Amino acid sequence: MPYATTRLKRPITPKVTMPEHSRHSGRQPRPEDDTPPSVRDFTVDDLHALRHDVTLFARASGLVDPVLYRFVLGVHELATNAVRHGGGHGHLELCRARDQLRCRISDHGPGMPHVSPRIRPAVDALNGRGLWLAQHAGELACTSDSRGTTVTLTCTIPPPSTAEDLHA
């Protein structure tokens, strides 16, 4: 069944709550630093800003490249899937708990026909890469039924590097 992209016209700005910790504090986050969740509704028009905000939150939580890049790309692909297949909009919850960064994206679309580990799409496939890319960014958990889909991406935050590590 083909999916149609629906563009919703929303006169108000989506709800955004960014925790204080996401601001640059001048110190590396510690494993005991849990953050309140960042919560946001989004549409196709919000995807660029959403990616930027996720990058800032993940960096402030201690992710660095290449883990940072993979996590942000995975979240972006999941958000794009929610917009494309989930009725034109989605809901994001992003939080840090100890050494884990967790992103939960949900939508109210028709659900996915199957939720299983994704294999690499064929080179000539026009779609099907979103979940495949996201699973390479961390642990991916999906639930889906006729009321919508929720996908959670969890990434372990590596311990911060020190100058001693560079000289070892």
Share of the chain above pLDDT 90, in %: 46
- Residue 7 has a pLDDT of 34
Torsion of CA 44, 112, 135, 130, to 10 degrees: -40
* Phi and psi angles of residue 165, each rounded to the nearest 5 degrees, phi first: -60, -35
The CA-atom distances, in angstroms, between 149 and each of 80, 87, 161 are: 13, 11, 37
For 5-24, what is the mean pLDDT?
A: 37
Per residue in 54-86, pLDDT (tens digit) is: 999 999 999 999 999 999 999 999 999 999 988
- Residue 20 has a pLDDT of 38
- Residue 3 has a pLDDT of 36
pLDDT at 168 over 50: no
User: How does the average pLDDT of the chain come out, rounded?
Assistant: 77
- Residue 101 has a pLDDT of 95
Under 8 Å CB-to-CB from 112, ≥6 apart: which residues? 85, 142, 144, 149
- Residue 162 has a pLDDT of 57
CB 84 within 8 A of CB 5: yes
Under 8 Å CB-to-CB from 128, ≥6 apart: which residues? 118, 121
pLDDT at 26 over 50: no
Per residue in 94-139, pLDDT (tens digit) is: 999 889 999 999 999 888 877 665 778 788 877 778 888 888 899 9
- Residue 159 has a pLDDT of 85
